[in-house]
Structure formats: structure tokens, C-alpha cells
Amino acid sequence: MRRSHSAPYLPATGPAPELHVLATLRTLLPYVWQYRGRVALAMACLIAAKFANVGTPIIFKHMIDDLSGPQQALALPVLLLLLYGLLRFSTALFTELREMLFTRVTQRMVRSIALQVFSHLHSLSLRFHLERETGGVSRDIERGTRSIGSLISYLLYSILPTLVELALVMGILFVQYDVGFVLITLVSLTAYIVFTVVVSNRRITIRRAVNESDSAANSKAIDSLLNFETVKYFNNEQYEARRYDTALQKWEGAAVKSQLSLSALNLGQQAIIALGVTAMMWRAASGVAEGRMTVGDLVLVNAFLIQLYMPLNFLGIVYREIRTALTDIERMFTLLGEHREIADRPDARDLPSGPLEVRFENVQFHYDAKRPILHGVSFTVPAGHKVAVVGHSGAGKSTLSRLLFRFYDVTGGAVRVNGLDIRDFRQESLRSAIGIVPQDTVLFNDTLLYNLRYGRPEASREEIVAAARTAQLHEFIESLPDKYETRVGERGLKLSGGEKQRVAIARALLKQPRILIFDEATSALDSKTEQAIGESLRAAARGHTTLVIAHRLSTVMDADEILVLDGGRVVERGSHGQLLAAGGAYAQLWALQQNEEGRQPDGSFVAA
């Protein structure tokens, strides 16, 4: 089930792989084993219910025989009637006790596995999340968790009791009558099971096609809805509808084929059962006609036939459902088998306390081996200092922050904190010490308060307000009707780009990190707002180890050192004044931006 990290998680389009039944069951077993006491009690109730169920027609046979013969005292029929009612009630009682005992096991399993898959998805690398299809993953988890309860219930409380009941009935038929009844039952049962297994196995491919087309359609729908603004910008509502309908057509075809094959399976099963029932009743009726069996025996055989018919019919449904559930669960478990590209070493340690120094040491990196991004980048951000990285888009600037966060590991060289390779530290410890204001701020579909508090969930409201004030956000929030309880919409679409970026700044400050990263932190702000929060950002950076990734050079003038990145290489480095005096790439970028923004050479605006 382990796959290469380079393979994107997408709905399968090729031939369906073999279903790994034993592997899937082995994965589920530890969860059941945690509640083995409850399971054992539930199994005892199940067996007791089946004994009571099989005993009921035997009591009924004796009642028929007693009532059919010469009249005797009514004491025995009365006792039999009472015993008949008691067995009927016992069947229901033990069945409900079984359900009461096992329901917690099923629901806790669903909860535990869903949580494990969810946590594992968050532990996977950024590469996986950039390549996955959210809708498909969501639907796979939904189907998989829903199928867990069905699978466990069917295996432990349908297959086993059916086999117990069949064994009891055939044992009684063999002991009380003759081997002919047993042979007819065995032949019918074998034919039924073989037919069901063969046809159901052929239906697995069809079922997989239904699931995959369903996931694909769901992915397209979610992707389109998440990007509804883009759809409207280009007037492509009908295009998206046609695209979605194309996926639905594939699902419709697979679903129709699945239903037709199911109907054929049901007809074949009923034909086998009808032949078996006819043969059994013919033999029983012949026994009564020849005087070898009583009317009560005929009633008993008929009752047993009904009890055999129901489990046999249900067994076919159960087998189909088990195969379907296994298909759904296996798809979900492939998520657990996804390779964790970035994992902690067994001896990983926590970051040391106190100030932190960051050093990139001859760092090389590529997302794709055919397209290198960084070529031997080396620089140091001393503890408490600010270093800025500037350059054209695509120069590799934002990759530096991803490497520092260990979203990816370097392919050459090392990133060090206080002289130690960051791969020697636990990821949780490393990331808890870093605060970032990303270029593209995505917010949760919740309130402003929730999104701000996300920087430090245990923060007080006073601390949140203080961080909002620092980010020049508090006055804007207070102007809203619902203030801090204002909902921001899907991905924060109810806020402007500048408002979202100020939320990101406040959130990062609230985290109280020892290392700060500003990745184009003011790219979505207008010049006036940029000036307003510029001093706040400078104040926030004081005393912190700060890495500023910027396109606007006016935001990095106060940096202790500025690196100019071009084509994944550091081509210039120095202070703002030194780089301007050098007259190189930085000076050219500076002159170009001043002309565009109408600034004086010192960075101030020309008066209107």
C-alpha cells in the first residue's frame, strides 16, 4: 500500500488492483482487539440468540404433534407454549444485548481510524497536498469510515451467526432424520456460495469504477466551487457545468452497469434457493406420505427451510456488502500508506532555548530533478538580526522559507539552527519557534477571532486585540457590525487582500516566535497601509531572528544584510546603502521601483 511520494493522489483510471482482503483485515484487527472483552460478551449473546432461534421450531414441532394426536392433559402444550414464547423473547433479548455491547466498539473504531487518517494527512509533505484532489480525498475518507462499521458488523455478527445457525440446523436434520436432508442443504449452500463469490468478485471492478467516477465528479465540483470567482471572471459557468456533467456521465454509466449486474446476481441466488427448497419439501412430504415423518416433522422442516432461506439470502447480500466495504476501506487505507516524505529521526531533539541563529550552508534544492531551484545558496541570519532576500519572481525566494519550515528537505547542503542541521530537530519543536506571514494568506471559514487566535489557541482576548492593533487591524474590525465575530467566508474571500494579509501579520505576532519570516508580507497592501504598518513590522522584528522575503525593496531598507537572488544563486549581498553604491542588480531594481511608485531616492514619496 506504500506509494512513491512523487505519484499524485488522484482517482485511479487504469485497471483496478487486486483487493488486499487479509491486509485490510489485519489493519482493522488491532482496533477490534482493544475491546476484546466487549466483543467476547457480544459473541456470547449472539450464540445464545442463535440457539434460541433454532430451538423455537423444535418446540413448535412438538406442539403440532401433541395437538395432532389423541387428546391428553393440556399441561404439556401449555408448558410448550410458554417455552415457545420464552425462546422467541430470548432471541430478541440476546440480539439487542449484542447490539448494545458492540455499538461502542464500532463507533470508537470509526472515530479512531478517521482521526488517524486525518492526522496522517496533516503529517504528509507539502508535495502531497499540492498534488492531491481535495474532493476525492474527502469522499474516500467519508466512504471508508462509513464502511468500517458495516464491515465489522457483517463479519462478526452476520457471517459467524449464519454459519452457527446452518451448522445447528444441519446437525438436527442429520440426527433426527437422515443424511439426505443434509446433502440437499450442503449442495444448495455450496452452489449458492460459489455463485455469489464468483459473480461478486467480477462486480468488484464495476464497483471500483463507480467509486472512482464518483470521487472524480466530486473533486471537479469542489474545485470549481472553491474557485467560483475565477469561474465568474471568465463567464465559464456553462463550461464548468459541462465539465461536471462529463464526470457524472461516467458515474451514471458505471452505476447502471453495477445495478444490472446486481439484479443478475439476485436472480441467480433466488433460483438456487428455490431449487433447494423444492427438493427439501419434496423429501419431507414423501416422508409424511410414507409414515416415516409426522405432520410436526413437516412443519419443523418447513420452519428450518425458512430459517435457512433467510440467512442464505442475507449471506449473499452480506458478501456483496463486505466486498464493497473492503473496496471503500482499502481506498481510505491507501492514504495511511502514503509515504511521509518528511519524518523525524528517531533521535530527533527539541530546539534549544534562547535566541536562534539560522544558517543556509551551500543549499541546493529541486522540486523536480529536471528543474533545479537553488544552486549552492549560503547565508547566515544571526540571532536577533534581520536579513532580507530580494529578486525577481521565480528566483527561489519563497523556497527558502519552505526549507526552513521543513516542508521539504534540501537535496544538497544543509539548513542549520544554532549550528545544528534542522533535520536533527523534531518538526513540531522547529515549527513552533517560527512565525510566518505568507504571501498568499488563506483563512478558515470562521470568524475573525478564530482566525486570529489560530496563531496561539490559548491566547487571551486581550493578547489577540493587542496583536490586531500592531497589525493596524483593530480599528477595521471594530468598524464591522459583528466586530471580532465577523465571519470571513470560504478561504477568507469576504476580506480584501490587504485585510487578509493584516490578519496573517497579527496571527504571526500572536504566536510569539523566535524566528520570524515575512514572505512578501506587504505585497497585497497599498502604499499608505504599507507605511502605516511598516514601523509595526520593524518593531515586531526587533530582537527576533528575521528573514524577510520581498519584492518591494522599500520594505527591506533597514535589513542588516540584503541578498539578491537570481536564478537560484546569490548574486549580490550587502546593506541597502552598499548595494546602491555598487550599482549592480539591486540598484537597477531600486531605480525601477522608485520610478514606478513615484518615490524619492531615499524611499519617501514625491509630494503631489
Query: Once rounded to an integer, what is the mean pLDDT over residues 595-599?
Result: 62
Residues 461 and 581 in one domain: no
On whether residue 458 sits in a domain, the answer given is yes
Q: How confident is the model at residue 222 (pLDDT cuts 50, 70, 90)?
A: confident
Could you tell me what percentage of the chain is helix, strand and coil, using 3-state DSSP and rounding each to the nearest 5? 65, 10, 25
Residue 333, all three cell numbers: 487505507
Greatest CA span in the chain, whole angstroms? Answer: 125
The CA distances from residue 19 to 22, 201, 228, 323, in Å, are: 9, 10, 38, 9
Residues 254 and 385 in one domain: no
On whether residue 557 sits in a domain, the answer given is yes
Residue 486 contacts by C-beta under 8 Å, 6 or more apart in sequence?
A: 447, 448, 477, 480, 494
Residue 528, all three cell numbers: 499608505
Q: How confident is the model at residue 342 (pLDDT cuts 50, 70, 90)?
A: confident
Residue 545, all three cell numbers: 531572528
On whether residue 7 sits in a domain, the answer given is no
Q: Check residues 433 and 491 and name the one with the higher pLDDT.
A: 433
The pLDDT of residue 275: 86
Q: What is the pLDDT of residues 470-480, one digit of tens each?
A: 888 898 999 98
Tell me how many domains the chain contains: 3
Residues 421 and 455 in one domain: no
User: Domain boundary residue among 500, 532, 547?
Assistant: 500
Q: Check residues 170 and 431 and name the one with the higher pLDDT.
A: 431
Residues 106 and 244 in one domain: yes
Residue 266 contacts by C-beta under 8 Å, 6 or more apart in sequence?
A: 316
Q: What is the pLDDT of residues 482-496, one digit of tens each?
A: 999 999 887 777 888
The candidate with the shortest Cα–Cα distance to 571, out of 360, 399, 379, is 379
> Burial code of 505-535, b = ≥16 C-beta within 10 A, e = fewer?
bbbbbbbebbbbbbbbbbbbbeeebbeebbe
Q: Is the pLDDT of residue 412 over 80?
A: yes
On whether residue 603 sits in a domain, the answer given is no
CATH for 587: 3.40.50.300
Residue 468 contacts by C-beta under 8 Å, 6 or more apart in sequence?
A: 452, 474, 477, 506
Q: Check residues 498 and 20 and name the one with the higher pLDDT.
A: 498
On whether residue 343 sits in a domain, the answer given is no
The pLDDT of residue 147: 79
Q: How confident is the model at residue 132 (pLDDT cuts 50, 70, 90)?
A: low
On whether residue 555 sits in a domain, the answer given is yes
Q: What is the pLDDT of residues 522-574, one digit of tens each?
A: 665 666 666 766 666 776 677 789 999 887 788 888 889 999 988 888 999 99
Question: Could you list the residue range(s) of the whole structural domain that residue 574 is in?
Answer: 358-433+513-597
The pLDDT of residue 8: 40
Q: What is the pLDDT of residues 287-310, one digit of tens each?
A: 778 777 777 777 777 777 777 767
Query: Phi then psi for 249, rounded to 5 degrees?
Result: -60, -40
Q: What is the pLDDT of residues 456-465, one digit of tens each?
A: 888 899 999 9
The pLDDT of residue 125: 61
CATH for 85: 1.20.1560.10
Q: Note the helical H segments in 337-490.
A: 397-404, 427-432, 448-453, 461-470, 474-478
AA identity, residue 109 = M
Residues 42 and 159 in one domain: yes
The pLDDT of residue 314: 67
The pLDDT of residue 573: 92
Residue 461 contacts by C-beta under 8 Å, 6 or more apart in sequence?
A: 449
Range of weakest confidence among 2-6, 121-125, 193-197, 483-487: 2-6
Q: Which helix (H) or strand (E) holds 590?
A: helix 585-597
Q: Check residues 77 and 177 and name the one with the higher pLDDT.
A: 177
Residues 178 and 323 in one domain: yes
The candidate with the shortest Cα–Cα distance to 313, out of 443, 196, 472, 222, is 196
The candidate with the shortest Cα–Cα distance to 41, out of 90, 102, 108, 89, is 102
Residues 371 and 297 in one domain: no
Enumerate the β-bridge partners of residue 562: 388, 574
If one counts every other C-beta atom within 10 angstroms of the C-beta of residue 389, the result is 28
The pLDDT of residue 5: 39
Residues 89 and 221 in one domain: yes
The pLDDT of residue 21: 65
Q: Confirm if 130 and 19 have CB atoms less than 8 A apart.
A: no
Query: Once rounded to an integer, what is the mean pLDDT over residues 182-192?
Result: 84
CA distance 81 to 339: 64
Q: Is the pLDDT of residue 17 over 50?
A: no
SS3 of 182, please? helix
The pLDDT of residue 133: 57
Q: If you search the block for the grid coordinates 489557541, which residue do you land on?
A: 457
Query: Once rounded to an integer, what is the mean pLDDT over residues 234-241?
Result: 84
If one counts every other C-beta atom within 10 angstroms of the C-beta of residue 271, the result is 13
Q: Is the pLDDT of residue 1 over 90?
A: no
Q: Confirm if 273 and 188 have CB atoms less than 8 A apart.
A: yes
Residues 429 and 450 in one domain: no
Residues 301 and 393 in one domain: no
Q: What is the pLDDT of residues 81-92, one digit of tens each?
A: 788 788 888 888
CA distance 450 to 487: 9
On whether residue 353 sits in a domain, the answer given is no
The candidate with the shortest Cα–Cα distance to 186, out of 51, 312, 52, 315, is 312
Q: Check residues 138 and 551 and name the one with the higher pLDDT.
A: 551
Q: Check residues 515 and 340 and name the one with the higher pLDDT.
A: 515
Q: What is the pLDDT of residues 31-70, one digit of tens each?
A: 778 878 888 888 888 888 888 888 878 777 777 776 665 5
Residues 207 and 285 in one domain: yes
The candidate with the shortest Cα–Cα distance to 527, out of 556, 498, 494, is 498
User: Domain boundary residue among 336, 367, 388?
Assistant: 336
Q: CA Rg, the chain, in Å?
A: 35
Percent of the chain with pLDDT over 90: 11
Question: In Å, how far from its chain's centre is CA 215?
Answer: 13
CA distance 191 to 35: 36
CA distance 556 to 573: 13
Residues 170 and 113 in one domain: yes
Q: What is the pLDDT of residues 304-340, one digit of tens each?
A: 777 776 766 666 677 777 877 887 787 777 777 666 6
Query: Once rounded to an integer, what is the mean pLDDT over residues 91-103?
Result: 83
Query: Once rounded to an integer, what is the mean pLDDT over residues 234-238?
Result: 82
On whether residue 69 sits in a domain, the answer given is yes
Query: Once rounded to an integer, what is the mean pLDDT over residues 353-370?
Result: 88
